[in-house]
Amino acid sequence: MQNEFDEIRPYGAGEVKQAVESLLADRQFSRLLKGFVPWLPNWMRNGLVRLAFVGVNTPLQFQLRFIKPIIRRLLRKCSNGYTFAYSGIAPGPERYTFISNHRDIVLDSAILDLMLHEHHFPTTCEIAIGDNLLIYPWIKTLVKLNKAFTVKRGLSPRELLESSQRMSRYMHYAIQEKHENIWIAQREGRAKDSSDHTQESLLKMFAMAGEGSVIDRLKELCLVPLSISYEYDPCDYLKAQEFQQKRDNPSFKKSKQDDLDNMKIGIFGKKGRIHYEAMPCINTWLDELSELPKTEIFSEIARRIDQQIHAGYSLFPGNYVAADMLNGTSTYACHYTEKERKVFETYLQSRIDLVEIANKDEEFLRERILTMYANPVFNKQNALR
């Protein structure tokens, strides 16, 4: 049965060596390696990489030997620390599907993997990633080594149905038979305005496979709402820039290079403090919805997941400053000092200054960035009512 998933699944045991060889044969990846150790000749760099992979036969071993140290180093350099709250779940035999808001293309799932390992969960996550981000062959190889499975984008309605059914079967297979955790964003792409809401179509996809009723099928995936909070979003000015570009030209679309730039800036940009909060598995309340009409089940589940994700946000002074600046009030002044307000105002202007486009509209860009930082305040406030 596993052959059905070969096109989308991560690499398995026994495939790592071949994947490494394909990476080393890729010219773009070789140029990337050269940037890290430019003084070494190609044959020596490749030899060192092969040596480093001795004993690495599975994606989990690849993550622990290579990805974990890289993410730790990045967080030391690009953040002011990270925290993980998970009182609603526990390390043990259970496997979970973490469904989260989406802030960074690359790091959201990578940081979760690090946190799961540091808090003694038995395995990390298989990661859902859109094939639109697999811009070059070496990226596809690298993410499959990192336990990523592929979500097909840009399909016809018929292809989308077939792809969704296969994706659902794979997720159930990964949880129930492979005994892996899964990470998936609550919607396609990042919420550019940081107002996070779950797509009902995603929940419907989850329920396409499995046994029994819709509730039973969703229970098989053990869905855990996960809140991701970054004090600063390194791509905030790029998101604001894209808002203006789409406002001025409704047909505007980002290029592959734009996506690559977003990934690079998201990885290496300053993030301030980072907090992840895993809420209780939704299996604790799913049975309450069993009597609802089928047409209402998914909307109610989406609403409750949103409420849990919003309630789990960690809010920082800049979020409250942005909310007051956006509304022209001092409603949240008790959550920040005058110094913190000035720090955020300086930060805001520095982000606007980074935007380089024709007909730059500073007021519009300011409003867009303020909205990104203020929406978590408004959403959390509504969730806790």
Placement of tokens 């990192």 in the chain: 146
The pLDDT score that the predictor gives to residue 101 is: 97
Full-model pTM? 0.93
Q: Which two tokens stand for residue 107?
A: 């790091």
Distance CA 208, CA 201 (A): 11
The pLDDT score that the predictor gives to residue 32 is: 77
Domains annotated for the chain, with CATH where assigned, are: 60-234+269-314 (3.40.1130.10), 318-383 (no CATH)
Dihedral (CA of 101, 102, 103, 109) sign: positive
Q: Which two tokens stand for residue 239?
A: 């998101």
The pLDDT score that the predictor gives to residue 280 is: 96
Query: Could you say which residues of the chain have pLDDT below 50?
Result: 1
Enumerate the H helices of the chain as residue ranges: 16-24, 27-36, 42-52, 59-62, 68-78, 107-118, 137-145, 157-176, 200-206, 214-221, 236-248, 256-268, 294-311, 317-327, 338-354, 362-383
Distance CA 274, CA 67 (A): 18
CB 205 within 8 A of CB 168: yes
CB 109 within 8 A of CB 276: no
93-102, pLDDT tens digit by residue? 999 999 999 9
